Chains A and B, each alone.
Chain A
Amino acid sequence: MLKIAKERLNDLYAKIAESMGLFIPIKRAGEVNYAVWAEGKEVSLETLKTVKSPKNAFFPQTENMMKFKTEGKNLEVIDIRKDWSEEKSFVMFGVKACDYKAIEVLDKVFLAEPVDTYYQLRRKAGIIVTLACSRPEESCFCKAFGIDATSPLGDVTTWMDETYLYWQANTEKGEALTALVQDLFTEGGEEEVAAQKETTAAIIDKLPYSNLDLSRFKPENLNELFNASEWEEMSEACLGCGTCTFVCPTCQCFDIRDFKTNEGVLRYRCWDSCMYSDFTLMAHGNSRTTQMQRFRQRFMHKLVYYPSQNDGLYSCVGCGRCVNKCPQNLNIVKVIKTLGGKNND
């Protein structure tokens, strides 16, 4: 294990940024989001829940896909990926355990056949440096999903205390990054890290949502859960705004649209939200006509549909963003508590 004094972190960022893009939680106009590091930016590694999750780096909110140009009767299709397939690697620095797990959830969707090559290119180019949590918040419930916030995976895992950042490479990509920055580090830190893990684990055990019981959310109960009468009441206050889906690290739905530009047609995709009224609009009409149905879809997808297609893996990672950000204080915890049986009382 390697370590670096916290006051030298800026040198580490600068070193990485010399040869590749460095995305890191940065405070801008009061809020912390992942952004490209540059000298003078206000880095906030301690922020657990960036407003937008790191998924934005691999599955950006808007992404151009291709261009079409017409000349006479000819239609030219321009593959935009050529512009960035040669792109240099980039580093996502400070990814928390929940958000890292969320990337695994996305991988199962985008890297399954037929592979989403846009996502795949970014995943290949990205080096993920995770950061263990030491001050979890009341809205964190990663533990309920079996995630260990004290030892996230990733290409490199880091831990941070008052004085040092500790660094451990886990993969080939991680080793390569380590080689690049090794000079800035010294050996050591095993004991400190072990102690921190223990302290954090004890805090996590006591978090208000850590022991949610998810056992009722399984494929066998699909119909029963789908038809539960409680959905009406649970969704009553929902504004259909989509905030919960846009801040969620695992929400994966997108829309594809064409946009007329002066130089032809641009096809782009952008995040979509099952909370929106035109989400399921088809030629025949819309199969989900009420907000209750849309609300139900979001939570059934996280807790029942996705796991039933992915060997029981839930597509919520307990990051708590929807808990913090829903304007009307609706969220997945309330759904789990309402439908999850009496162990959640």
Chain B
Amino acid sequence: MKDVELKMIERAKELLASGEVARVIGWKKGEFYFDPVPASFETVEELDSLVYNYFCGANLSKYLIEMSKKEGKTAVFLKPCDTYSFNQLVKEHRIKRENVYVIAVECLAKLDINKIKAQGVTGVTDVEVVDKQVKVTSLYGEVVLNKPDVVLEKCSVCQKTHQVKDEEIILHERPERDVNRFAQVAELEAMTEDECFAFWRNQLSKCIRCNACRNVCPACSCVKCVFDNPASGIAAKANDDKFEEQLFHIIRAFHVAGRCTDCGECSRVCPQNIPLHLLNRKFIKDIDSFYGEYQAGETAEGKTPLTEYTEGDTEPNDVFKGEAK
């Protein structure tokens, strides 16, 4: 991946030096290998700290809402999954497409430091990927883990390809994979109502209502969220259990239904590791079965199943019964 990083730095430098773009959005070096930070670069010198590695999981699309309003063009590095969010935001008129220069970068699946630590490794100080193996150095010794065991959830089921590119940097071929992102949803569907309720209660009662899931979500792009607005009458900071369990997350899932591209950011950022993606994926699966297969963010144009009415649409009653046409 180092070769990709070098190529990215080289291209970004050219774009900045030639004046084609005013800034570049990417990731910059952290303290360790595994904590890069999303960043913008405005000078050629700054670009020496640009990093692209197995921990660049953060989706940069949402930053473009603000960046694309700025003077001059913004170049951005987007992974396959990030381009769906980008398209969706363009479709919703949140990003000014003409102000953005998209450089599609290969991905090869990103790693999850929490999953690495969950394997019982404490005090991780370095991570190195060699083919399908992840060599983890810690304060207490070295271990070698299987890469598939420690990739981000979103990457473990990813079959996405770049939907937008003004140019691309792809040096390695991505291995073909056969994955089913709805497998876990099917497990939930197989539960009884009580079991399912207990599952979500157990998970959501951990929620500290930090709002990381909402703030990172590219589909949550309201200028002011109702829950933050003291004038809305329903502003809420408290993590009252019942509300958390039964309302906030469900409301949010409904609000992003049909617009969620399954970018996986909500689950990546949750400090309590709540599998929020399962809520959204359930909606995606239902939309697929009720209205025909649909992938949000595949294009930046056209109507979406939930914003369009056609005569053959599933009746609300069918939805209630869970029967798709």
Contacts and interface: CB of A to CB of B under 8 A. Distances in A.
Do A and B form a real pair?
A: yes
Interface stretch (B76-84, B94-102, B211-219, B296-304): B211-219
A240 B66 CA distance: 14
Interface residues of B, number: 47
A31 B210 CA distance: 16
Interface string A305-345: 00000000000000000000101111001100100000000
Q: Interface size bucket, A side?
A: 35 or more
A327 B216 contact: yes
Interface of B: 30-32, 35-40, 58, 63, 118, 122-125, 138-140, 202-203, 205-206, 208-212, 214-216, 224, 228-230, 235, 237-240, 265, 268-269, 271-274
Contact of B271 (A247, A328, A330): A247
A175 interface: no
Given A51-B271, A61-B208, A243-B269, 14 more contacts: A33-B206, A136-B139, A137-B122, A137-B139, A206-B139, A236-B39, A239-B212, A240-B215, A241-B216, A242-B211, A243-B210, A243-B212, A268-B238, A273-B237
A276 B210 contact: no
Given A51-B206, A62-B238, A237-B39, A138 B139 contact: yes
B197 to A, nearest CB: 14
Given A61-B238, A247-B271, A278-B230, A29 B206 contact: yes
Given A208-B125, A247-B271, A270 B208 contact: no
Contact of A328 (B37, B202, B210): B37
A138 B138 CA distance: 8
A135 B117 CA distance: 14
Contacts of A161: none
Instruction: Give the most central of A136, A271, A272, A327: most B CB within 10 Å.
Output: A327
A246 B208 contact: yes
Contact of A333 (B31, B206, B214): B31
Contacts of A330: 37
A237 B38 contact: yes
Contacts of B209: 61, 246
B123 A239 contact: no
A277 interface: yes
A51 B293 CA distance: 38
A327 B122 contact: no
A344 to B, nearest CB: 11
A233 to B, nearest CB: 8
Which one of B210, B239, B273 has the highest number of Cβ atoms from chain A below 10 Å of its Cβ? B210
A122 B206 CA distance: 22
A43 to B, nearest CB: 17
A330 B208 CA distance: 19
B30 A329 contact: yes
27 contacts: A28-B206, A29-B273, A31-B206, A33-B206, A51-B272, A135-B123, A135-B140, A138-B123, A206-B139, A233-B39, A236-B39, A237-B39, A237-B58, A237-B63, A241-B216, A241-B269, A243-B208, A243-B271, A246-B209, A247-B208, A272-B237, A273-B210, A278-B235, A328-B37, A330-B37, A333-B31, A334-B37
